Amino acid sequence: MMPAANVRATTAPPVGVAILGSTGSIGTSALRVLARQRDRYVPVALTANGNVAALAEQVATWLPAFAGLVQPHADAPAGWGVGADCLIAAATHPDAAIVINAVVGAAGLPATLAALRMGKRVALANKETLVVAGAIVTETARRHGGELVPVDSEHSAILQCLAGRQPHEVRRLVLTASGGPFRTWPADRIAAATVTDALRHPTWQMGSKITIDSATLANKALEVIEAHHLFGVPYDRIDVVVHPQSIIHSFVEFIDGSVLAQMGIPSMELPILYALTYPERVADSGVPSFDPVALGGLSFETVRYEDFPMLRLGIDAGRRGGAAPAVFNAANEVAVAHFLAGRLSFAGIAERVSAALTELAGVSGASLDDLLRADTAARDHVNAQVGC
Ligand code: MG
C-alpha cells in the first residue's frame, strides 16, 4: 500500500468515488459517509446487484455519471449499464479515483483487477477478491501503482496499528472474532441451527451471506487469508481470538512484546472513511465520542475450532495455497446459498466444503484462468452433491 494524496483541500474539486454494491449494507453505509464529506468526495458511479428501486432512489439523490445493475431487470432505465460488465465499467470509470468494492463473493474479482490495472485505489470490502486470487491481485496493484486499502473492520484496525512500522517489527497479528450467534451453543445444537438462528448476529448488521459466514466462522477464515495477502504476514503469525463485544477490532503484537489495538463501537462507517482518507484522518466520521466506562467490560475467549470446522478448513486452504482458497470460497458461497434456501443443514455447509476441497485437491491454481476454473468446478461439485 502506498500513501497517496486522497484527502484534498476544500478548495480542490471532490475526489470521484465508484461504489460497487451501493444498495447493500456496506454501500449504504458508504453513501452515509460521503454525505458527511461532500467537500472531499462525490459518488460518480453506483452499481447494484438487483435492487432496482433502491438504486433508482440513490441515482435520483446523487446523480452519478454512471449507474449499473448486474441482474437485468425490466424496470431498469435505458441509460443504466446492465449485466456483470457494469462492475468493470464502474470500476474503470474515468471520473472515479477510488473504487469501493462491496460486491458479495468472487464476482467482485474482475472489477478489483480492472481498477488496480488503472492505478486506482480500491477500498476493499470484497474480501473474496483476495481469497480467490490474493497473489495475482497484490502483484497487479504493485505493477500498476494501484492501492488496496481494506474496509473490513479487522484489517482497517491492523492497518491503523501498523502505521509507520516496518514489516520486520511485527511479531503477530491477532484478529478478533465476535464468535457469532452460536458462540455459547453446544456442538449438537449448532449442527441443527436454522436459517433464522444463523441470521441473528449479536453485534453486526450485515448482508445475509456474510452473516452466515460469521455464524460458521468461515468469515474469519476468509479474513485470515485476506490479512496474509494485505500485510504479507505468514499464516503461522496470524491468530484469532474470540471477543464477543466487537469493540477491539484487532491487535498487532510487535517484536518487543508491545501490543497495539484499535477499538470503537461496531460501525462500518469509520473503516469506510479511513479507506478513503488513508493515511490521513479527517473529522466528521459519525462515530460518537468514546466512553470506556459505558462499554462495561471486554472479554476474550479461545476459538472452538472443533465445533466450527469452517475456520480450520479455510485457514488450511490458505496455507495450502494454489487453488485451495478459491475452492474453499466458491464451495462456501454455494453451500451458504443452499443453506439459506433450506436445501442444506447448517452442519452440511462444512461437510460440502470439506468434500469439495478433497475432490479438487489436485486442481492447479497457477494462473487466473486456473483459479476461475477451480471456482467453477467447486460450485458445480457442491451443486451436484446437493442435487441441483
Ligand atoms: Mg470483518
130 plus 174 within the same structural domain: no
State how beta strands 170-177 and 66-69 pair.
unpaired
**Ligand 1 center to 154 CA (angstroms):** 5
Residue 3 in any domain: the answer is: no
How many domains does the chain divide into? 2
Confidence of residue 202 (pLDDT cuts 50, 70, 90): confident
Q: How far is the CA of 249 from the centre of ligand 1 (A)?
A: 8
pLDDT single digits (tens) 161-188: 999 899 999 999 999 999 999 999 999 9
Distance 60 CA to ligand 1 centre (A): 31
| Residue 150: pLDDT over 80 | yes
Residue 2 confidence class, pLDDT cut points 50, 70, 90: very low
Q: Which domain holds residue 54?
A: 15-151
Mean pLDDT of the region 354-370: 96
Angle at 295 between CA 214 and CA 28, to 5 degrees: 50
Whole-number Å distance between alpha carbons of 305 and 299:
18
Say what the pLDDT of residue 284 is: 85
Asked if the model's pLDDT at residue 252 lies above 60, the reply is yes
pTM: 0.94
User: Is residue 242 included in any domain, yes or no?
Assistant: yes
For 61-92, the pLDDT digits (tens) are 999 999 999 999 999 999 999 999 999 999 99
Q: Does 246 lie in the same domain as 134?
A: no
Q: Of 96, 131, 151, which residue sits at a domain end? A: 151
- For residue 45, report the distance from its CA to the centre of ligand 1, in Å: 25
Sequence-separated (6 or more) residues with CB below 8 Å from residue 94: none
* DSSP 8-state code for residue 283: S
